[in-house]
Amino acid sequence: MKVTALIMAGGKGERFWPRSRVNKPKQFLCLTGDGKTMIQQTVERIRPLVDYEDIFIATNEKYKGLVKEHLPEIPEENILLEPVGRNTAPCIGLGAIHVRRKYEDAVMLVLPSDHQIKYKGMFINVLKDAIDVANEGENLVTIGITPNAPETGYGYIKFLPDHMIGRAFKADKFVEKPDLNTAKKYLETEEYMWNSGMFVWKASTILDSIEKHLPEIYGGLKRIEESIGSDDEESILSGVFESIPSESIDYGVLEKEDSIYVLPGTFGWDDVGSWLSVGRMRQANDAGNVVSGNAMTVNVKNCIIEGEDKLIAAIGIHDIVIVDTEDATLICAKDSTGDIKKIVENLRICNRDQYL
Amino acid sequence: MKVTALIMAGGKGERFWPRSRVNKPKQFLCLTGDGKTMIQQTVERIRPLVDYEDIFIATNEKYKGLVKEHLPEIPEENILLEPVGRNTAPCIGLGAIHVRRKYEDAVMLVLPSDHQIKYKGMFINVLKDAIDVANEGENLVTIGITPNAPETGYGYIKFLPDHMIGRAFKADKFVEKPDLNTAKKYLETEEYMWNSGMFVWKASTILDSIEKHLPEIYGGLKRIEESIGSDDEESILSGVFESIPSESIDYGVLEKEDSIYVLPGTFGWDDVGSWLSVGRMRQANDAGNVVSGNAMTVNVKNCIIEGEDKLIAAIGIHDIVIVDTEDATLICAKDSTGDIKKIVENLRICNRDQYL
């Protein structure tokens, strides 16, 4: 069966402020040091399995120009615009009806646009396994990540070690972000994987599940599907998205389904959730610093310096992230990157929109 | 007797990089938060004692424009240009011959252009006492600062507690910057003051002393004095300064003289030797931060942030100095400000003159 992909690229990425802005979120940034943006890397990674014409990009209307600029090979009609963000269930449903319209049915790789994957060959192998399981009946397949730490920032998937199809384990249940003690227990049992937010299924399978568990959303998707190519397409899309509820695919569909399989992904995954990821992804120098741009350091250790043209002179500091942009500079302790959103909030409250 | 002043304004002030540059050293910066530059404050402080026309500014040729801009009230002929820096003895000698030429003799207040003084009335009182002592015979008067810590960055003056004229103690000897143990001993004896580099004497007295102890320099000064107003003035000034040795007034003259008196200055003195001084001079907020310019902070403690137009967002950091300028940003641990000169050195070595 035909293999297509839906890349979800509507995220705001406030955690990469000041490099990321409302008008240029994380997926459109070069963060890994190889000169390619996150979304370009995402597309490039799956090219061994999917043609450009079968890759759909779901994004916010305001990022249409950026998608075209970063991915000129993707046909314009494959850029699916969400009039408002309604979480992953409507977004994936929108992708699925476009796949159904084009091919009646096809396998869909559903991928975030802003993750980092180190071992690209292994990633392809896992996707191939997932495609096999998705093709074999009406299975919904998720890519899990084998945990190496009790992370509290991810959802977890409990799997049944003895129920397998191919290399995929049957999922027992989905659980939300745990507290630290719970996360530690999950790690000990060896029966949990992180939920990476990457999925593989047939368009028909996921649409059947949406119809079953989220009938209101499915009804809206049907109306959109029928309008595609008509004069009303845009207004119906807007009307439906305005009216349907926000719902994630995990909790709206997957938690309620039985035939979920999870494939362990051991391909060097990073969700690039903060500037600390940038430190992990790039080569540090002997002092533990990851430095780019115009910077000069004296006795600096374990810092991340993201400079641009302006000279950044750092002296005697350690474990700090410095990000310089044209109109704003961030100086943030590594253990405080979670507070970057407070700056963004504050800027919003103060109506300092030029920095958002 | 007439009271004049010589303000020494030839310093480079690398310790305030990146705000200070080769073409705009510390004395021409606003550092105290009151909107006036250091040199403007220096002139304003002594105005109760000295008229503008009796204030001489000794500086490097390249700062002539800055002096005129910052001190438009000072007559242009009072700006004395040192063709090359030859330390304080030739500089003070140059001032003294101009005073002698104008008034035959007069008292000279000799003052650095980049110090901070908190209690201006007390400062004037100390200067008045010093003028009295300088007028009474051939005394050389220095302003000492009563130490409150074993500072290793200043020279010290040992004084004789039982030999006084007015409020001035007779100086026993001048000593160079001590190591920490020596400085601690000095503090215990209660017979040492810091050498502030501020002096009061008659032009005739200091010129006699220069003639006696530094005859080569005095010979040069005489040649300059004779050329003033002639066509050769500039070339003779250049020739003399090129040929005479560098010598400080402290070690070239004062150490060798007998009639030196030291007046204790308790007027809130700060030599503004580093960015840490800026933290001391300005009002800190409840978190111990001294912040100016466009800045936003979250969980920041005991930091100095000198912003300009660009937004500086600081999160979770403490005891760090951040100085933003148009083309360079400094991020320096408070205990490492001494290493700022390493950045400046490095920039010089790398021929990155635009940042110097």
pLDDT tens digits, B164-190: 999 999 999 999 899 999 999 999 999
User: What is the per-residue pLDDT across A128-175, written as a single tens digit (0 to 9) for each?
Assistant: 999 999 998 899 999 999 998 999 989 999 999 999 999 999 999 999
Per-residue pLDDT at A264: 95
Distance CA B323, CA B16 (A): 9
pLDDT of residue B137: 87
Per-residue model confidence as pLDDT tens for chain B (356 residues): 999 999 999 888 789 999 999 999 999 999 887 889 999 999 999 999 999 999 999 999 999 999 999 999 999 999 999 999 999 999 999 999 999 999 999 999 999 999 999 999 999 999 999 999 999 889 999 999 999 899 998 999 999 999 999 999 999 999 989 999 999 999 999 999 999 999 999 999 999 999 999 999 999 999 999 999 999 999 999 999 999 999 999 999 999 999 999 999 989 999 998 999 988 888 899 999 999 999 999 999 999 999 999 999 999 999 999 999 999 999 999 999 999 999 999 999 999 999 99
Partner-chain contact A327 B310, CB within 8 Å: yes
Assess contact for B178 and B152: CB atoms under 8 A: yes
Decide: residue B166, CB within 10 A, 0-12 exposed, 13-18 middle, 19+ buried: middle
Q: What is the pTM of this model?
A: 0.88
Q: At residue B157, what is the residue type?
A: I
| B196/chain A closest Cα distance in angstroms | 29
**A–B CB contacts, 8 A cutoff, strictly below:** 117
Alpha helix segments (H runs only) across A78-200? 88-103, 120-135, 180-189
Q: How far is B272 from chain A (nearest CA, A)?
A: 20
Q: How far is CA B19 from the centre of its chain?
A: 18
Enumerate domains of chain B plus CATH numbers.
Answer: 3-270 (3.90.550.10), 275-355 (no CATH)
Q: What is the ipTM of this complex?
A: 0.87
pLDDT of residue A14: 86
Between CA A133 and CA A143, with CA A137 as vertex, the angle to 5 degrees is 30
Q: Which residue has the tokens 């190889």?
A: A34
Query: Hey, are the CB atoms on B331 and A320 less than 8 Å from each other?
Result: yes
* Residues on B contacting A at a C-beta cutoff of 8 Å: 17-18, 296, 298-299, 310-317, 320, 322, 324, 327-333, 335-337, 339-340, 342-343, 346-347, 352, 355
Q: What is the pLDDT of residue B12?
A: 82
The alpha carbon of residue B298 is apart from the nearest alpha carbon of chain A, in Å, by 7
- The residue ranges of chain A whose pLDDT is under 50 are none
**B347 Cα to chain A: minimum distance (Å):** 9
Per-chain mean pLDDT for chain B: 95
> How many Å separate Cα B50 from the centre of its chain?
18
The verdict on a CB contact (< 8 Å) between A311 and B322 is: no
A236 three-class SS = helix
Using the beta-carbon criterion (under 8 Å), do B313 and A329 form an inter-chain contact?
A: yes
Residues of A within 8 A of B17 (CB-CB) are 313
Taking CB atoms and an 8 Å limit, are A333 and B316 in contact across chains? Answer: yes
Which of A276, A331, A347 has the highest number of chain B CBs within 10 A, making it the mutation to test binding with B?
A331
Contact across the interface for B312 and A328, Cβ inside 8 Å: yes
Nearest C-alpha in B relative to A318 = B333
CA distance A63 to chain B (A): 25
Do residue B336 and residue A315 have CB atoms under 8 angstroms apart? yes
Q: With CB atoms and an 8 Å threshold, state whether B299 touches A336.
A: yes
Residue A200's contacts (CB-CB under 8 Å, 6 or more residues apart) are: A107, A108, A109, A110, A127, A130, A131, A133, A134, A141, A142, A143
